Structure 1
Amino acid sequence: MENLILCHPRASSGQDPSQAIIVKCEVPQTIPNDHVLLEVDRFGFSANNVTYQALGEATHFRYFEFHHIPEAEGVSSKTHGVTPVWGFGTIIKSTHPKVHPGERVYGYFAPARYLLLQVSPDVNKYAFFVPRPHLPPDRRPYNQITRCAQDPLYDPSPTAEDLTMLYRPLFWTSFWCEDWLNSSNYKGGSAQILISSASSKTAFCLAYLIRKRNSLQGSSTRRVIGLTSTKNLAFTKRLALYDDVFDYESSDTSLVRNLAQGHWIYVDVAGNDALNARVRDHFRVCGDSELVTCISLGLTNVSASTIEPSSASWGFGSEAPQGDDPKLEHFFMPEWLAIRKQQLSVSAITQMQKEAWTRLMSDCGTWGVSLRRVCGPDQVKAAYEEIVRCGLAPEDAFVWSLCGETEECGSTAKL
C-alpha cells in the first residue's frame, strides 16, 4: 500500500513555508508491538491549521513535533514539517491487546492516507493515548485518540462528523476560556468583552458561549463587541452573536463613541500587535471606560511566512511585555483544563461538555457556514494553494481526504 502525507517546508530551512508537498512512502506491512495503523478517512482544515503551521517551530507550541515526517528525496525532518489536523479514521491493524481493528477513532492526526501510532499503556474504553515524552505533559489533550463507540459526543452521521472536525478543536478553546473568565470571576468579572478577529470560529464561539450563559441565567450580565475586517463585517453581523460589530478601519471613531462605561476585557484572537496598540489607545481617551486586561486567545493574522520560529514562547497566565499596561496574557487551554480537573470530577466535566456540545450542534446551523469536501492528493494540494492565494473566507469550511477521489467528496454542503 502507498501512503501519502501532506507536509510543508520549515521556515528555518529558508524555503517557502507556504508550499504544499505530497510525500509518497510505503505503508509498513509489519507494525511494532503496541502500535496501531489507521486509515485517515478525512480531516478538517481551517484557519486553525494555518496557525498550527505558522507555529510549527515555535518554542512553546512545537506543532511540527507531533508527527514524524517520512524521509524522501528533498524532504527530511530537518527541512519539512507535518501540520497536525483533526480528523476521523478507522483502525486497520493493531498490535495492542486492548485496541482492535475496525474501531472508528477521532484525534489529532497527520494529514495522510495512513498513520502509524504508538499506543501508551494508558488505555480505557473512551480513549487511548499516543506517548510523546519529548513534548510537555500539558500536551496530553492533543495526544488523546477518542474511541468513537464510547464517546458521549459522537454522532456517526457524515454531517455530524464534519461539524466535529471543524468546530470541536476550536470550540473547546473558547469553551474553557469562557469557563475561566466566569468561574474565576476574572478581574472582578468585567461585564464588557471586546473580541478581535470576530469572524473566526474561535472568536464567535466565545461570543456564542457568553451570550448562551446570559440566556441560561436569564440576564444580560456581559456585553460582547466584535472587531473584524471590512470584508468580513457582513458575515459577522449575520451571525447575530455580538451585541455590536465594528470593522478595524472605522473602529478608531466608532468604537470610542460606543464604549460603555465600566471595566472591559479585551480578547485578542487576531494576534496583531498594531491592532492591540490601537485598542489600548481607544481606552486611554475614554475616561469612563477601563481596559482591565488583554487576553491572547489566538493568532488568526499570522502565517507561516510572517512569523519567526522563536517569536511565540508563552504559557497560560504568562504576560508578554507590550510597552503599555495592561499587558497581554496568554490563555492556553490544556493548562486551564488541568486546573479544572483538580477542581471538578471527570463526570462533572464530561457532563458540562456534553451539554455545551449538544447546544452548539443545535444552534450552529443558523450561522451560514458552507462545507467544501475535497478528495485526492492533487485536489487537496490545489485546495491548499488556493487558500494561500485567496485566504479563507469565514463562511467557508473544508474537509479533505487523501483517500480516493469521489463525487461526494467534491461536493459543497450548507452546515
Structure 2
Amino acid sequence: MAINAFDFVVKIDDLQQTKLVEKVYSDELSSNEVLLKIDKFSFTSNNITYGVVGDKMNYWKFFPTEYGFGIIPAWGLADVVISNHPDVQVGQRFYGYYPMSSHLLVTINYVSNNGFVDNSVHRQALPLIYNFYTNTNLDPTFTPKTENLISIFRPLFVTSFLIDYHLSEQNFYKSSQILITSASSKTAQALACLLARHKKKNAFNLIGLTSKKNVKFVRELGWYDQTISYDSVAELNYDEKSVVIDFAGNHNTQFQLQILLSENLVYNCLVGLVDWKNLKGESSLPKKGEFFFAPAHVAKCQKEWGVSGFQQRIGIAWQQFMDAIHSTISIKEYFGAQELQKLYSDMLNGDIDPNNSNIVYINKTRKRS
C-alpha cells in the first residue's frame, strides 16, 4: 500500500519562495529501514539560521530534495509507522532532527538502549549529534508535559551551555561586560540564564541588545543588567573590556559595536543569523569574529568528560533552566502545511512575538469550532 507524504521546501537562493513537494513511500521497506510519521516540531529563529547557512554548514544535506530547493531541519517528535528493523517497533516514539515534512525514512544499523543513529548514505559524513534519535519511551525526561519544551529549548540550550562553558573556561576573557544580540531569541534567553549565575563572582555586567519593540520583554526576563535597543547602541559604556555574543548577524550592528568598542572588544562570538536580511553593509568590518560551531565544542567536551559525563552536566543545567522558565512559557500551536507556511513567512520577516514559543503539528489540521 502506498503512503502519501510531502516535504515543505524552500528555494536555496531565495528563502522567500516555498512550496510543497508531494512524494509516495512504499510499505515494503528494505532491510533495516524504518518509516516515521512526524508528529510535531518546534520552530524558532534558529531554523532561519539553518536556512541562511544551509550551503556553508551542510544543513541542506540532511534531507535532500529536488535541485535548487532545500528542506530546513527542525527538532521534534515522530512515531514509527512501518519498521523493517527487528529492534524498532511500530508505535515507538523518537525525538530528534527531522525535516519539515510529513514523514522521514531512515536506515538503522544498530539500536542502543537510548535510540538509534540514521545511517542513510547521505548522512554518514554529517555530525553525529544531528543523526541520533532518542526513544522517548526509554527516556523519563519525556512526558506529555515536557515534550514541547524539550523540542523548543533543548537543542538551543545545548548551544547556550557550550558557549557558557567556553566563556567560563576562558575566564570570560577577563571582560567586565558581555553583550548578547537578539536578546529575545530562545538561544539568547538560555545563555543569559546560564551567564547570570557567573556575574557576581566574575564581576561582569550582562547586556541585552534587541529591537525597540522587544525591549520590555527582554528587560522583564530578569537576567540582564541592562537592555538596549539597536538604535541606542551608542549608549553603551565602550570603555569596558567586552565580549559580544552575536545571534543576530546584522552587519551594521557588528560594525557599530566593533567601532565603539575598538580594542576593548576582546572576544567576538558569531552564533546566529536571525537578521538574515542585513548580513552585509557598505563598510567592511574592522575585525573578523569567531564562528561558534556547536558540534566541534560537543566533541571537545565529550573527549574531556566522556559521553555520559557530558550528558550528565547538560542534564543538571537543563533542569535548572527548566525550573527557572517553565511557568513563563507560552506555547502557540500551528497545524498543517498551510499554517507552517504562514509561520515560516512571519519568522523569516521578523514578525514574531517573543512571548510565544511555536510548535507545528505537521500532520494535523486545526479543529474548527
TM-score (norm 2): 0.90
| 362, 367, 382: which one aligns with 2:323 | 362
1:99 aligned onto 2:85: no
| 6, 9, 18: which one aligns with 1:7 | 9
- Whether the aligned pair in 2 keeps the contact of 1:372 and 1:398 (CA below 8 Å) is yes
| 148, 151, 163: which one aligns with 2:149 | 163
Residue in structure 2 matched with residue 244 of structure 1 by the alignment? 226
Residue 132 of structure 1 and its aligned partner are, at CA, apart by: 5.6
Residue 82 of structure 1 and its aligned partner are, at CA, apart by: 0.8
- Whether the aligned pair in 1 keeps the contact of 2:251 and 2:279 (CA below 8 Å) is no
Structure-to-structure mapping, 1:13-412, within 5 angstroms = 16-58=14-56, 61-69=57-65, 76=66, 78-121=67-110, 123-131=111-119, 139-151=127-139, 154-157=141-144, 159-185=145-171, 187=173, 189-214=174-199, 219=201, 221-252=203-234, 254-256=235-237, 259=238, 261=240, 263-284=241-262, 290-302=264-276, 324-325=286-287, 327-367=288-328, 369-388=329-348, 391-407=351-367
CA shift in 2, pair 1:138/1:193, >3 Å: farther
Q: SS state of the match for residue 67, structure 1?
A: coil
Q: SS state of the match for residue 105, structure 1?
A: strand
Residue 381 of structure 1 and its aligned partner are, at CA, apart by: 2.7
Q: SS state of the match for residue 394, structure 1?
A: coil
Equivalent pairs counted in the alignment come to 364
Q: SS state of the match for residue 146, structure 2?
A: helix
Q: SS state of the match for residue 156, structure 1?
A: coil
Residue in structure 2 matched with residue 313 of structure 1 by the alignment? none
CA shift in 2, pair 1:68/1:164, >3 Å: same
- Whether the aligned pair in 2 keeps the contact of 1:3 and 1:113 (CA below 8 Å) is yes
Residue 380 of structure 1 and its aligned partner are, at CA, apart by: 2.6
Q: SS state of the match for residue 250, structure 1?
A: helix
Residue 97 of structure 1 and its aligned partner are, at CA, apart by: 2.4
AA at the equivalent of 1:255: L
- Percent identity (aligned): 29
The higher relative CO (CA closer than 8 Å, separation ≥ 6) is in: 1
AA at the equivalent of 2:164: E
What stretches of structure 2 of length at least 5 have no aligned partner?
none
Moved over 6 A (4+): none
Q: SS state of the match for residue 112, structure 2?
A: coil
2:71, 2:126 → 1: CA distance? 20
CA shift in 2, pair 1:347/1:386, >3 Å: closer
Residue 389 of structure 1 and its aligned partner are, at CA, apart by: 5.5
TM-score (norm 1): 0.81
What CA RMSD, in Å, does the superposition of the two structures yield over aligned residues?
2.5
Residue 402 of structure 1 and its aligned partner are, at CA, apart by: 2.3
Cα deviation, 1:279-330, whole Å, max 9, x if unaligned, reads 122224xxxx822121112111115xx779xxxxxxxxxxxxx6534x3111
CA shift in 2, pair 1:31/1:138, >3 Å: closer
1:178, 1:132 → 2: CA distance? 33
- Whether the aligned pair in 2 keeps the contact of 1:264 and 1:293 (CA below 8 Å) is yes
Residue 137 of structure 1 and its aligned partner are, at CA, apart by: 5.1
- Whether the aligned pair in 2 keeps the contact of 1:66 and 1:132 (CA below 8 Å) is no
- Whether the aligned pair in 2 keeps the contact of 1:27 and 1:114 (CA below 8 Å) is no
What stretches of structure 1 of length at least 5 have no aligned partner?
70-75, 309-321
